[in-house]
Amino acid sequence: MFADLQIDQIAANPGQPRKFFDEDKHKELKGSIEENGLLQPVVVRPVEDGDTPYMLIAGERRWRACKAAGLTVIPANVLEDTDDEKAYVLGIAENVGRADMTIMEEAGAYADLKSAGWEPLKIAKQFGKTETAIKWRLGLLTLRKEVAEMVDRGEIKNNLAWHIAQLNPGNQMVAASRYVRGDFDSEAEAQHFANALKMMEQQTTLTSETAPNAEETEKRKKAKAQAKDGLGKAEEVLLPLLEDLAKRKPEDLAVILGDDLTRHVRVVGKLYSQVQMVRNLLSKAQGIQRAMADDFNKKALEVQQEAKVKQGGEAKQEAKPEAEVKPRPVAKKAAAKPAAPARRSGAAAKSPARRVPAQKKAEPTADAGKETEAAAAK
């Protein structure tokens, strides 16, 4: 049923799949509505026990622009007997093909349907996509918040985002930050780096676990020398040749190469294919090398931090006995007071002939102190 409704009678859907609305496009649509009116009605459904009698199913951007343009009445397609799930599916269908719906919003919408019991295959059929595409988008939901926001802002492309999503949260931030910072020459290099980090997480052996024997070491030396020699020749001979050919005009090459032109095209085609393959392999190797360096630096930092903590603990243990010893001299001085009863014999105290040597006087004083300490302990 189509009807003209009061714009204040319609409320936005709190479960709207799309959360981000571009401000510039909003202003553009507002200007178009002011000039031409609303060309496509919004889709709403009746709601009970709500603040307003209708809730949007599709067309929130148009509804927002109409309100901003000062319209009080808006054309609407009213769908009766539409439950929450059906309304949500219609909302996704209305937005899923739009360029301004972010990949993370799309993934979140599919996740809501999945939590409602929809299988990826059913979701795919509903929206005309493949099951693989749905699973691929659902895989993005493991991204930590900061990285997901980078994806929404367009700082990280969707394909790279999926590779980063396979990592643990800490490595996600490492890969994303390095890419945004510009540490990689291409998106492919960033993907290879992310894949290498994943290998590190899975404890996949990137290098031999045991030290190579003499024979294996010699083989590696020869392989290294051969690779360096081959790449060196390519740089010295092949690269200048290709650069020279690239400067020539097609009509000149047609005359120069003559009947051999077709064969040369085929050879260069094979060469191009091999170069692309080797370039991809070297990029993967570079990603592994970078991941190994990052892992080494991370472990080195952990060792340094553990050493600092250990040193701090040992310093505290050494300082602790000194603090305990300090009160003892005071206790000994206080305990020496009970030696006073030795002065009860006036004659002994006054007679120089019977004065006890200093060494012997100290012995009863110490015994008295020990007895006092024992009494205090009891």
User: Is-catalytic flag, 60?
Assistant: yes
The position carrying tokens 């507002």 is: 30
Closest CA to 40 of 15, 63, 18, 20: 63
Amino acid at 204: T
Q: Any alpha helices (H) in the chain, and if so which ranges?
A: 23-36, 60-68, 84-95, 103-115, 120-127, 131-138, 145-152, 158-165, 169-181, 187-201, 214-233, 239-246, 250-257, 261-325, 327-335, 346-350, 358-377
The single residue of 23, 28, 48, 60 carrying the catalytic annotation is 60
Contact of 175 with 193, CB cutoff 8 Å = yes
Three-state secondary-structure class, residue 50:
coil
**Closest Cα to residue 16, out of 120, 95, 81?**
95
**Residue 9: exposed, middle, or buried by beta-carbon count in 10 A (0-12, 13-18, 19+)?**
middle
CA 325 to CA 231: how far, in whole Å? Answer: 72
| Strands ordered across the beta sheet of 42-46 | 2-6, 73-78, 42-46, 54-58, 10-11
Structural contact between residues 249 and 257, judged by C-beta atoms closer than 8 angstroms: no
Angle, in degrees to the nearest 10, between helices 261-325 and 187-201: 50
Using CA atoms, how far apart are residues 337 and 365, in angstroms rounded to an integer? 8
- d(C-alpha 103, C-alpha 101), whole Å: 7
CB 286 within 8 A of CB 189: yes
Q: Catalytic residues, which ones?
A: 60
